[in-house]
Amino acid sequence: MTEILNIQHLNVSPKNDVTRMLVNHASFTLSTGKTTCIVGESGSGKSLTALTIMGLLSKQLQASGHVIFQGQDISKLDDKAMQKVRGAKIGMIFQEPMTSLNPVLTVGYQIGEPLTAHLGLKGTTLKNRISALLQQVGIPPERADSYPDELSGGQRQRVMIAMSIACEPALLIADEPTTALDVTVQAQVLKLLNELKTRMNMAMLFITHDFGVVADIADDVIVMFRGEIVETGTCEQVLHHPQHPYTKALLACVPDAEGLKTLKPIDYAWLKEVAA
């Protein structure tokens, strides 16, 4: 496996309160062909980490540390230079497609935007590539002329996937892309993402709060709590041999097929202490 992303001592804090760390000295690496899941509850710093990688942090926040992508520290690039990286080399799927897709533009036009911006595709070549991408994500090519509100939630998420892989990026970041979908559609989307990752030999950073999703898709797992990485390991290690009390607490909340929590009781003293 080839290392493609190396995050070194990443910090994120509000500009008006540099002592309040929203992401605190996060360090990890990603490799081609592998899916790494960042898991944790809301507010743990998962999405902020992804937005920092993409250079999309709010202007009210500031970041420090290093984001080394394909040997280059992209955290030092200005916005114009980052525009050449976003979409072309790093794709991102956001959590809610209806807030990411423009309701007054056809989905075909929106899929075509990165192809024109980064690859210069036009005319018939562009149209054929849009059709191929729609087919690749399981949507009939004729739906290119549809608007987002004419598609189901699962179809809209597939359109977002088509947009994110349009330029065949080396890294795909998926920020809780299945949260708003029902269980059946969620399984279909996860299967599609896994197939695309393998076919394109991408690295995938998948953000979730759901250990069920982790079990389905992850090669490696990063557990975050209050902005800090508290545990890392392979999917097997983290799911079956968790070391950190927070990881054990998250896993204790996962029901089995009958809806029962079958894991051994754990000591919640650590959680009570940090919450105090």
Of residues 268 and 97, which shows the higher confidence score?
97
CB distance 157 to 189 below 8 Å: yes
Q: pTM for the whole thing? A: 0.89
187-240 pLDDT per residue, tens: 888 898 999 999 999 999 999 988 888 988 999 999 999 999 999 999 999 999
Hey, what domains does the chain have and what are their CATH numbers?
3-89+168-241 (3.40.50.300), 102-166 (no CATH)
72-116 pLDDT per residue, tens: 999 999 999 999 999 999 999 987 766 789 999 999 999 999 999
Interatomic CA distance for residues 201 and 13, integer angstroms: 34
Of residues 211 and 273, which shows the higher confidence score?
211
Strands 203-208 and 171-175: parallel
Residues in the chain: 276
User: Which two tokens mark 90?
Assistant: 């790093």
Instruction: Count other Cβ atoms within 10 Å, centred on residue 270.
Output: 14
Q: 3-class DSSP state for residue 43?
A: coil
User: What does DSSP assign to residue 86?
Assistant: B
